[in-house]
Amino acid sequence: MTTAEIDLPKAVRPSIAEMPEQRIGAVAMTAINDPDVIPLWFGESDMATPQFIQDAAVTAMQAGHTRYVSRRGVTPFREAIRDYTKFLWNIDLGLERISCTGSGMTSIMIAMQTLVDAGDNVVFVAPTWPNAYYAVDVLGGESRFVPLSLTETGFKLDLDQLFDACDDRTKALFVNSPSNPSGWMIEHDQMRDIMAFARSRGIAVISDEVYHRLVYDRRVAPSFLEVAEPEDALFVIHSMSKGWAMTGWRAGWIISPASLGDKMGELSVLNNTGAASFIQHASAVALREGENFVAEMVDRCRRGRDLVFQRLSAMDRVRMTRPEGAFYAFPKIEGMSDDLEFAKRLVKEARVGLAPGSAFGPLHDGYLRLCFARGEADMSVAMDRLEQALSR
Ligand SMILES: Cc1ncc(COP(=O)(O)O)c(C=O)c1O
């Protein structure tokens, strides 16, 4: 039953009553427990959380880390984030800029709650992860989308178009790089221009960097921290989910100007006061000791990416470029009229689960997204099935 068919109590806010259907879920729910379907619809690997992180959580729980935590997060986790930022980008962050949250999604929600009033807008580089713009909708704001264009050499962002989409009610530019779903990655020159524009207009930048480790031609993705001043209105979104195979643990962090650190903590309390204490302690261990595992994850994704790119780009109806980062392919499918119905049909008839492109903003009907963070055997069978379905 859709929301429109249910008689909701009058008290429910219009932005909740009118929330659009979650399109990825709508496909996945058709066969979520069917073992014959290869599930490439969600953004997670088939790898389990490594044993040393699981052990760290158990040890922390047994040591009594099961109580309320400080609103900014436990000190070992915050210190680990500080050291990890230094290690990867050579940036010195004071602890006052770091707040631990209950997930990357919670970090996004906290940033939006800090910035967006009813009637304000946020401009997204599109396509983009749907939950990020639903957060704006829930607050009564407007989400605007500036599309990347698909060229022979990859997705490209036109900065004039991005800046033209801003007006007096624009509170933030939302950039997710490496991007879910497109695999696009922004470079420092465009970051610098965005930061300068935002600074001059009093607009914040929300930089979603949850896929910073999933890059294939370098050690780490560029970060907005590298082009910003410490007191710029910059919010950097991070998550334990992707690089360490911890999607179900629900832990993340947000980097803000130091002057907003206390506000981040207060808003965190109103959401869930961050991840459970023992999870934060285990996350600190993951950041400090996880480099071998991250390398393994990147290797698995690189093999998935190469296989999927080679197979998909050879198919007649498919147009795509090689993803630069993250763990998704976002092919454009010629002659596909309704991507939601098409994705549901792929589940039923081809036994492979993909997400419809229209889930990622209103401009990307005509695309499908698939996550390639799985073993080669599965990915290979998935490509065989897709090839057959697309040749019908
Ligand atoms: C671009 C992007 N940002 C943030 C998140 C949130 O991650 P989590 O809430 O699992 O930490 C995701 C998850 O898929 C994502 O794709």
- Predicted pLDDT at 3: 52
Q: Are 115 and 142 in contact (CB under 8 A)?
A: no
Residues with a CB atom less than 6 Å from ligand 1: 43, 103-105, 129, 176, 180, 208, 210, 239, 241, 247, 252
- Ligand 1 test: best mutation among 22, 174, 212, 242, most atoms within 8 Å of CB? 242
- Predicted pLDDT at 372: 97
In terms of C-beta distances under 8 Å and separation of at least 24 residues, what long-range contacts does 26-35 make, across chains too?
26/340, 26/344, 27/340, 27/343, 27/344, 27/347, 27/353, 27/354, 27/355, 27/356, 28/353, 30/344, 30/347, 30/348, 31/347, 31/348, 31/353, 34/351
pLDDT tens-digit map of 224-265: 999 999 999 999 999 999 999 999 999 999 999 999 999 999
Ligand 1 mean position, distance from CA 213 (Å): 14
- Predicted pLDDT at 2: 52
Ligand 1 mean position, distance from CA 60 (Å): 25
The model's pTM is 0.96
Q: If you take atom 8 of ligand 1, which residue's CA is the nearest one? A: 104
Q: How far apart are CA 238 and CA 105, in angstroms?
A: 9
If the chain, 392 residues long, is cut into consecutive pieces of 10 residues, what is the mean pLDDT of each piece? 70 90 93 94 96 98 97 98 98 98 98 97 97 95 96 94 98 98 98 98 98 97 98 98 98 98 98 97 98 98 97 94 96 93 96 96 89 96 96 82
